[in-house]
Structure 1
Amino acid sequence: MKLAHRVVAAAVCATVALVSQQALAQAKKVRIGLAVANLQADFFNQIKQSVEASGKTRGVEIITVDAKGDAALQAGQIKDLLARKIDALIYIPAGASAAGLPVKAARAAKIPVVTVDRNPPDAPGDTFIATDSVAAARTLGDYVVKMTGGKGSVGIIQGQLGTTPEMDRDKGFNEALAKAPGLTVVAKQASQTWLQDEGFKIAQGMLQSNPRITVLFGRADALALGAAQAVKVANLDHKVLVVGFDGDIRGLKAVKSGVLAATMTQRTQAMGRLSLDAALDLLAGKKLPPLQLQPAALTTRENADGYIAEHP
């Protein structure tokens, strides 16, 4: 009997080991493509870090490509990812123009697509994960109305026209300003990169043309930091309230130091984890909602420390 028990025990151990090896092999076969718009932006970097960390924990291979803000380059990168037989695609479009083409290509290859932050209107992802930018921008606008007493001249440095975050932030901010007719938008210009250098140049031009501007809203923290820099070198005789959006680490530190008055902190780490969860759920045949909108938090000097210590 003892021998029989040993044989059975050995067989059980061998079976468990085989099942574990098969599970590991199965996990190793899961390859997720992560196509990021521009890793120069901290927002996208945080999502990348979160997806990769979550993938490592789950034994899922993540193949990341950086479009560097170039939609044509990104289309080629995704074509290569599909050729490499990825199982699912997490896609952050680099721009509005032709953003739907990679989704259509993936769909033709029967590859599920999770879109993040930006969703092509002509070819949306199987599920779209983003901040509820309409609600968040409305909250930010309400803050601006409160801090200015509902009076002043506003300059807006937009993101890329036609992209989901730009359209939604425009809608929400306008809804807030509609309650304060004394706050007038006197300048509005789009950026192409969402980056600080461009924010500086645009804000500088605005302040030269409209030196009485009292509020500058950069649709991303990097644009807002550029705007704050332009205010500093302009040597104006009045204070300008500068606000941003994203909750980037540099933006949060600028809020803490008073360079920016406020930002909206997005849940980038959570969005990264959720995007991988969604990709795996789609692979498992689960039905997901078309929109998975996440809240953002109004961040001022009073609460910036908490988000700097641990980004949501």
Structure 2
Amino acid sequence: MKLKSTLFAATAMALTAFGADAAEVKRLGLAVTNLQADYFNQIKIGVEEYAKELGIEVITVDAKNDGATQVSQVQDLLTQDIDALIYLPAGAAAAAVPARLAKAQGIPVVNVDRNADDEPGDTFIATDNATSAYEVCKHVIGLAGGAGKMIMIHGQKGTTPEVERTKGCMQAIGENPGVELVAQQWSNQWSQAEGLDISQNLLQANPDVTIIFGQADGLALGAAQGVKVSGVEQRVYIGGFDGDTTALPILAEGGFDATATQQVRGIGRLAVDSAVKLAAGETLPAEQLLPGYLTTPENAGEYVAEHP
């Protein structure tokens, strides 16, 4: 098993010593989707801890999943003399507006987790969602013997991770003709409560399902609850995504079957690194994708111990 030193090697290699460039950056704006979600909170911690090491102030705002609120928050951030904006869009609909506003003022934008096709950030940082979702779905399909009826519980429709995780899982389904995707539904909050409600409804209509992919660990945990309360007799194999600090211990105990553990604080550190470089006038790749790690009950315990 590869522990933390290897788990975050890709991120560590991307971080550099800044010298005078870092000293020129005094303040960053951080616009976060929803700090009630562990995933986003861990990215925030990664940004703030690393920025503190570099002597950079971070002004953080939480949109609580509301796009209009986030637009207003970013407008306010842009009046506070920030050198760059680290931006985690609260939804697909208004994702382009804050980036457009920042760029109009000459402020570089680092988009994290979600991007907007019509107004992307100067660089986009995320987990390689498609590849990681493919690995999770391939794994749970394999556990089910490569065949069976399947449900997919999506994240927020149209957001980058939802689109990419769908793409990856559909690839795995396409490679297994014995698998039939019998139902799918989109969530709004990627939450455990939604995972429970959606899985109960879909299992009532499809009681012979043996595979479920929830596009976030919250959705997968809710689906695991839904399987229990629905009273289905067959074994149902459940995959999630994120490697949340709350979900990994449950996975280690066999509460569900697989997830993709993201380098959440590493993503935050890379976002700061990128913001500093952009503020110094450097050009960065349009996308910076970090690997997610297939995590199962067999290796989850070590990810729990080594989680950042």
1:181 aligns with 2:177: yes
Q: Percent identity?
A: 52
4+ long deviations beyond 6 Å: none
**Structure 2 residue matching 1:250: 3-state secondary structure:** coil
Given candidates 230, 233, 255, the residue that maps to 2:229 is 233
1:122 aligns with 2:118: yes
**Structure 1 residue matching 2:274: 3-state secondary structure:** helix
1:191 aligns with 2:187: yes
Aligned residues: 289
**Structure 1 residue matching 2:28: 3-state secondary structure:** strand
Given candidates 287, 299, 305, the residue that maps to 2:301 is 305
Structure 1: runs of 5 or more not aligned: 1-22
Aligned twin of 1:100: 96
Q: What's the TM-score, normalizing by structure 1?
A: 0.90
Q: Give the 5 Å matches for 1:53-132.
A: 53-132=49-128
1:30 aligns with 2:26: yes
State whether residues 155 and 213 of structure 1, in contact with CA within 8 Å, keep that contact through their aligned partners in structure 2: yes
Higher radius of gyration, 1 or 2: 1
Given candidates 141, 166, 187, the residue that maps to 2:137 is 141
Give per-residue Cα distances to partners, 1:7-66, cap 9 Å, x unaligned: xxxxxxxxxxxxxxxx99x94961101111011111111100010000111110011111
State whether residues 28 and 59 of structure 1, in contact with CA within 8 Å, keep that contact through their aligned partners in structure 2: no
Please give the root-mean-square deviation of Cα atoms over the aligned residues, in Å: 1.5
- Residue identity opposite 1:271 in structure 2: I
Q: What's the TM-score, normalizing by structure 2?
A: 0.91
**Structure 1 residue matching 2:30: 3-state secondary structure:** strand
Equivalent-residue separation in structure 1 for 2:300 and 2:92 (angstroms): 32
**Structure 2 residue matching 1:288: 3-state secondary structure:** coil
**Structure 1 residue matching 2:246: 3-state secondary structure:** helix
Equivalent-residue separation in structure 1 for 2:233 and 2:267 (angstroms): 42
> How far apart are 1:123 and its partner, in Å?
0.3
Given candidates 265, 271, 277, the residue that maps to 1:269 is 265
1:169 aligns with 2:169: no
Give per-residue Cα distances to partners, 1:99-120, cap 9 Å, x unaligned: 1010000000110000001001
Structure 2: runs of 5 or more not aligned: 1-18
Equivalent-residue separation in structure 2 for 1:147 and 1:41 (angstroms): 29
State whether residues 25 and 279 of structure 2, in contact with CA within 8 Å, keep that contact through their aligned partners in structure 1: no
Given candidates 193, 198, 214, the residue that maps to 1:202 is 198
Give per-residue Cα distances to partners, 1:153-204, cap 9 Å, x unaligned: 1111100111110111111111111111111111100001111111111111
Equivalent-residue separation in structure 1 for 2:190 and 2:25 (angstroms): 36
Give per-residue Cα distances to partners, 1:72-113, cap 9 Å, x unaligned: 111111011001121110000010002101000000011000
- Residue identity opposite 2:140 in structure 1: V
Equivalent-residue separation in structure 1 for 2:23 and 2:80 (angstroms): 17
Equivalent-residue separation in structure 1 for 2:303 and 2:29 (angstroms): 29
> How far apart are 1:261 and its partner, in Å?
0.5
